[in-house]
A and B are shown apart, each in its own frame.
Chain A
Amino acid sequence: DAGITQSPRHKVTETGTPVTLRCHQTENHRYMYWYRQDPGHGLRLIHYSYGVKDTDKGEVSDGYSVSRSKTEDFLLTLESATSSQTSVYFCAISNTDRGDNQPQHFGDGTRLSIL
């Protein structure tokens, strides 16, 4: 299995609080991605990173920010959590430097509940 660790695995918090999710990889891959998965919507890309300090928005980026200060860590922050951000969050990595036809490999996910 790809060396991807997400933390925390579960979190319950209140509306309006800031939340940071961490993704840590040991594969030295340049590309990292954050997704959310909700019933009826499948996996949707929030943000992705193509290198240290290089990030870009996905299709559902509103209300989320990211940071990548080291190759191995990609942080997802909810500045002021809302109930609509209750979801399962997955981090993924890919070795896209080898070509655009590389699959992504996923972490175990973080189950986030905003009350």
Chain B
Amino acid sequence: RKEVEQDPGPFNVPEGATVAFNCTYSNSASQSFFWYRQDCRKEPKLLMSVYSSGNEDGRFTAQLNRASQYISLLIRDSKLSDSATYLCVVNAFSSNTGKLIFGQGTTLQVKP
């Protein structure tokens, strides 16, 4: 089983749609969770951290379910500019090395 698993998609949605991505992780001891965004042929960029209580940043909402070991990202009112690959990221539980485990990403294509 992969340490971080995501549905690769692609998710094809019309502008204005709401879309949700889920991600599961295998290590119950993981403490830090993030969503990154990666545009084609670009570097990954931090979209948002994921907190236990859930958190929102504009149109983006992240949720964490520790009991089921999954993380979700909800995008409301999708824009064309949201088209990208979204990476689910979990810390590798080790002696404070800051190592992260990256999912392979979910591709979103927002169409006019």
Contacts and interface: CB of A to CB of B under 8 A. Distances in A.
Q: Say if A and B assemble together.
A: yes
Nearest to B85: A42
A108 B43 contact: yes
Chain B contact residues (Cβ within 8 angstroms of A): what range? 20 to 34
B97 interface: yes
B64 to A, nearest CB: 12
A31 B43 contact: no
Interface string A82-111: 000000001000101000111111111100
A42 B104 contact: yes
A12 to B, nearest CB: 16
A103 B46 contact: yes
B104 A109 contact: no
Chain A contact residues (Cβ within 8 angstroms of B): what range? 20 to 34
Interface string B36-48: 0000001111100
A108 B43 CA distance: 5
Contacts of A33: 98-99
A45 B20 CA distance: 28
B102 interface: yes
A48 B99 contact: yes
B87 to A, nearest CB: 8
A41 interface: yes
Contact of B97 (A48, A101, A103, A108): A48
A23 B84 CA distance: 25
Contacts of A90: 43-44
A40 B103 CA distance: 11
Given A100-B31, A101-B91, A56 B103 contact: no
A105 B46 contact: yes
A104 B98 contact: yes
Contacts of A58: 99
5 contacts: A31-B97, A31-B98, A42-B102, A104-B98, A105-B46
